[in-house]
């Protein structure tokens, strides 16, 4: 069931005009068809939209052969709020008891909704500038689709390997193969200038604390010296606070800068 897909994969090299025409058609089709995505910078998305996108890509770029290659193996779709460092993920699952296998493609709403909000730097995904949120979602699907195809044909997939690069360039014109978008972390850093290592001041339950930013995810982790706190590797004791970055005031530079 994979021979045709393999042959398409080997023999296709789409030029940039074909790629952009096809991806624009998919963009328009999703806007016309989706019950949730009603504008290019949509505020609502449902996991069925991922399936809609997947089938459009499979049809237009692979003659429906990815579905064929899946056979009876289920392909599921999910949206993740917690995935904050990657735009998407493709996984193969096996139920240990029943032996049932399935694939899952997930996309990060945390990343998507951070992008194209108010002022932002140009969003570049896979080496292509994305015009809007739907466009960014398309880059995610293109990337994950290649992961799925590699898993189906070769059991293993890696976007840091040359085979992946060759496929992503020939089908989608990708010139880079990373999962990166603006992450909440990057956004916090760009907007506020707050970086790990900085000394910051913040108010918590009416008390003003001064501490050092340890890391930034959705919130910043700030360590404040406290004799009753946990002992850290520098021998001092700290209490840990999780504070939204916009509530931090920088009072000192990051160490070593
Ligand atoms: Zn990847």
pLDDT of 209 reads 92
CA of 172 to the centre of ligand 1 (A): 14
109 located within any domain: yes
Residue 17 lies in a domain: yes
Residue 210 located in a structural domain: yes
Q: Are residues 100 and 154 both part of a single domain?
A: yes
Q: Is the same domain home to 198 and 239? A: yes
Quick check: is 33 in a domain?
Answer: yes
Cα–ligand 1 centroid distance for 140 (angstroms): 9
Beta bridge partners of 203: 208
Alpha carbon of 255 to ligand 1 centroid (Å): 33
Are 45 and 37 in contact, with CB atoms under 8 Å apart? yes
Number of domains in the chain: 2
For residue 123, what are the domain limits? Answer: 3-182
Distance 163 CA to ligand 1 centre (A): 12
Tell me the two tokens of residue 245. Answer: 């970055």
| The two three-digit tokens of residue 2, written as one number | 């994979």
For position 151, what pLDDT does the model report?
96
Exposure pattern of 115-137 as b/e (b: 16+ CB <10 Å)?
bbeeeeeebbbbebebebbbbbb
Q: What is the CA radius of gyration of the chain?
A: 22
Asked whether residue 145 is assigned to any structural domain, the reply reads: yes
Distance 12 CA to ligand 1 centre (A): 21
Instruction: Tell me the torsion sign for CA atoms 172, 175, 128, 89.
Output: positive
Q: Please list the residues that pair with 240 across neighbouring strands.
A: 223
**β 88-94/220-231 pair status:** unpaired
Are residues 110 and 210 both part of a single domain?
A: no
Sign of CA dihedral 103, 66, 167, 139: negative
Give the residue from 127, 147, 182 where a domain finishes.
182
Find out whether 47 and 78 touch, Cβ atoms under 8 Å. Answer: yes
* pLDDT for the residue numbered 254: 59
Span from the CA of 108 to the centroid of ligand 1 (angstroms): 13
Q: How far is the CA of 257 from the centre of ligand 1 (A)?
A: 33
| 161 & 143 share domain | yes
Picking from 129, 157, 182, the residue at the C-terminal end of a domain is: 182
Per-residue pLDDT of the chain (257 residues; tens, 9 = 90+): 789 999 999 999 998 899 999 999 999 999 999 999 999 999 999 999 999 999 999 999 999 999 999 999 999 999 998 887 778 999 999 999 999 999 999 999 988 887 776 655 567 777 777 888 999 899 999 999 999 999 999 999 999 899 999 999 999 998 877 765 655 555 556 666 777 888 999 988 888 999 999 888 778 889 999 999 999 888 999 999 998 877 888 887 655 43
Instruction: From 162, 182, 202, give the residue that closes a domain.
Output: 182
Ligand 1 geometric centre to CA of 86 (Å): 9
Strand partners of residue 212: 199, 223
Asked if 242 and 149 sit in the same domain, the reply is: no
Q: What is the DSSP letter of 155?
A: S
Same-domain status, 156 and 62:
yes
257 found inside a domain:
no
Asked whether residue 175 falls in the same domain as residue 246, the answer is no
Largest Cα span, the chain: 67
- Give the β-pairing of 199-204 and 249-252: antiparallel
Q: How close is the Cα of 226 to the center of ligand 1, in Å?
A: 42
How far apart, in Å, are the Cα atoms of 97 and each of 91, 94, 100? 18, 9, 8
> Using an 8 Å Cβ cutoff, are 39 and 30 in contact?
no
CATH classification at residue 193: 2.30.30.140
Which has the closest alpha carbon to 115: 78, 89, 87, 90?
87
209 plus 156 within the same structural domain:
no
Query: Domain check: are 73 and 146 in the same one?
Result: yes
CA of 138 to the centre of ligand 1 (A): 14
Answer yes or no: is 116 within a domain: yes
Q: Is residue 160 part of a domain?
A: yes
Q: How would DSSP label each residue in 182-226?
A: --HHHHHHHHH---TT-EEEEEETTEEEEEEEEEESSSEEEEEEE
Asked if residue 203 and residue 114 are part of one domain, the reply reads no
Separation of alpha carbons 6 and 225, rounded Å? 59
Are 51 and 65 within one domain? Answer: yes
- Structure tokens of 249? 């005031």
Residues 76, 139: one domain?
A: yes
């Amino acid at each position: 069931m994979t021979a045709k897909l393999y042959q398409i994969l080997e023999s296709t090299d789409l030029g940039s005009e074909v790629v952009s025409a096809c991806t624009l058609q998919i963009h328009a089709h999703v806007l016309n068809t989706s019950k949730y995505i009603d504008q290019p910078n949509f505020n609502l998305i449902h996991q069925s939209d991922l399936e809609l996108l997947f089938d459009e890509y499979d049809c237009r770029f692979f003659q429906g052969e990815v579905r064929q290659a899946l056979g009876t193996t289920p392909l599921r779709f999910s949206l993740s709020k917690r995935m904050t460092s990657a735009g998407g993920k493709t996984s193969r699952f096996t139920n240990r008891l029943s032996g049932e296998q399935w694939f899952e493609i997930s996309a990060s709403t945390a990343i998507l909704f951070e992008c194209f909000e108010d002022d932002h730097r140009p969003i570049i995904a896979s080496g292509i500038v994305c015009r809007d949120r739907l466009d960014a979602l398309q880059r995610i699907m293109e990337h994950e689709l290649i992961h799925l195809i590699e898993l189906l044909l070769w059991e293993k997939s890696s976007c840091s390997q040359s085979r992946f690069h060759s496929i992503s360039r020939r089908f989608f014109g990708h010139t880079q193969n990373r999962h990166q978008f603006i992450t909440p972390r990057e956004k916090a850093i760009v907007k506020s200038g707050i970086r790990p290592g900085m000394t910051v001041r913040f108010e918590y339950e009416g008390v003003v604390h001064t501490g050092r930013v340890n890391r930034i995810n959705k919130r910043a982790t700030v360590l404040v010296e406290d004799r009753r706190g946990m002992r850290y590797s520098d021998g001092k004791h700290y209490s840990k606070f999780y504070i939204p970055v916009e509530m931090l005031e920088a009072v000192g530079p990051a160490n070593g800068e």
